[in-house]
Amino acid sequence: MQTDFHHAVTYVVARTAGFVHQEADIIAYSAQYVDDAVSEGVVHFDNDAFYARIHSSHKSTDVGNLNNDYNHLIWLPFHFLPGNGGKGPGEDPEGTFIQKIVCLPDSPPAKEMVQAAVNDKGKPYSLHRLGIALHVYADTWSHQGFAGVIHEINNVEHARELKSSGMYSQQLQHVLEDILDDVIPPLGHGRAKNFPDLPFLHWQYKNGRGVWIDRDNASDFCTAADAMCKVMQQYLGKAQSGLPVADQTLLQKIFLDLKIKEDKARHAKWLEIVKKGFNGEKFSFGTAEISYAAEGANSWKEIALGSSWDMRVHQYTPAFLGSNWKLFHDALQLHRLTVLHDILPKYGICAG
């Protein structure tokens, strides 16, 4: 999933679940920032204070993508949560270890992960932690069938669009590149390019085991949004009824109608929809004005560290401790520790 879902749709779902604008804004920003927090290391201040942060993503060109040691610490806890073959704690799916770490939608480890985030309600970074967990939770639908390591199981062949009838279609061949590049390492869905991220796409491919897989992204994305809503309702202490039918219907309309390949352009359209509605329809919470900046003016990083955030020593202010950027990174560290050291070992998965 890309910025349109992780930021805009997460905001929509949060408001629909009952969060006020300010809370939903934090959850949604955190959910998207998981993809944009690509720097790690120590931040030094002029009063000798310091803050050590981790990162939750790599740039696509980062050589770290070729190192499975890094992949375990980045892609598994934050993007391709191991599904243990859908089995519970202490159980093993058929096959080798790789079958345990293939990502699966709403798997037992995924349920434990979001429950852990809900249980942290009341901590200073609880909304940030919820947003991070919801990013990973949503990705269990879009990243299903892939593993966050370099392995042949991630091979993708003959990816193509399908019509709603299931027949092969040439309609979007100007959007889809049917010939995939085998030079791309088989990490996650790298060889599928952005096919799993396009909300409007109904597609098919042959996986690394030679099995044809049928993927209906719009349906998967709607299911993910409904499940996310139930998690948020639980956090708020409400009945876990999920998204109202009217909101689900509108979501699906937007997913299918916005046939825009480029992430930023699709996200921009979503910001307009949240502000003004879509073809005369609005979500149940009404409208709102939202924005997202990963860096630069109005970004959490610049607000916390100043416009010269890349300097070696930063001016310290007491406000840093309560900044969204610092709280996000606090939550990021707890999320990784919880997933790699508390949850996955229950399933016989040692990855951290």
Confidence of residue 26 (pLDDT cuts 50, 70, 90): very high
Confidence of residue 61 (pLDDT cuts 50, 70, 90): very low
Confidence of residue 152 (pLDDT cuts 50, 70, 90): confident
Confidence of residue 164 (pLDDT cuts 50, 70, 90): low
pLDDT, mean of residues 317-341? 97
Q: What is the mean pLDDT of the chain?
A: 88
Q: What per-residue confidence (pLDDT) applies to 309?
A: 55
Helices and strands of the chain, counted as H and E runs = 12, 6
- Which one has a higher pLDDT value, 352 or 162? 162
Is it the case that residue 2 has pLDDT exceeding 90?
Answer: yes
Confidence of residue 119 (pLDDT cuts 50, 70, 90): very high
Candidates 189, 178, 177; CA nearest to 150 is 189
Instruction: For residue 198, report the phi and psi dihedrals to the nearest 5 degrees.
Output: -85, 110
Candidates 7, 1, 16; CA nearest to 287 is 16
Lowest mean pLDDT among 76-90, 159-173, 311-325: 159-173
Q: What per-residue confidence (pLDDT) applies to 184?
A: 52
pLDDT, mean of residues 318-335? 97
Alpha-carbon distance of 291 to 297, in angstroms, equals 12
Is it the case that residue 175 has pLDDT exceeding 60?
Answer: no
Q: What per-residue confidence (pLDDT) applies to 312?
A: 79
Q: What pTM was computed for the model?
A: 0.91
Alpha-carbon distance of 83 to 88, in angstroms, equals 9
Confidence of residue 117 (pLDDT cuts 50, 70, 90): very high
Give pLDDT tens digits for 275-316. Answer: 999 999 999 999 999 999 999 989 999 999 987 655 678 999
Q: What per-residue confidence (pLDDT) applies to 207?
A: 82
How far, rounded to the nearest angstrom, does the alpha carbon of residue 256 sit from its chain's CA centroid? 20
Q: What per-residue confidence (pLDDT) applies to 71?
A: 65
Lowest mean pLDDT among 160-164, 215-219, 320-324, 333-337: 160-164
Contact status, residue 85 vs residue 92, Cβ threshold 8 Å: yes
Give pLDDT tens digits for 219-273. Answer: 999 999 999 999 999 999 999 999 999 999 999 999 999 999 999 999 999 999 9
Structure tokens at 257: 């109608």
Residues of the chain with pLDDT > 90: what percent? Answer: 73
The per-residue DSSP string of 128-174 comes to: HHHHHHHHHHHHHHHTTT-BSSB-GGG--EEEEEB-TTS-B--TTTT
Alpha-carbon distance of 270 to 151, in angstroms, equals 35
Give pLDDT tens digits for 68-113. Answer: 666 678 889 999 999 999 999 999 999 899 999 999 999 999 999 9
- Which one has a higher pLDDT value, 144 or 58? 144
Q: What per-residue confidence (pLDDT) applies to 158?
A: 77
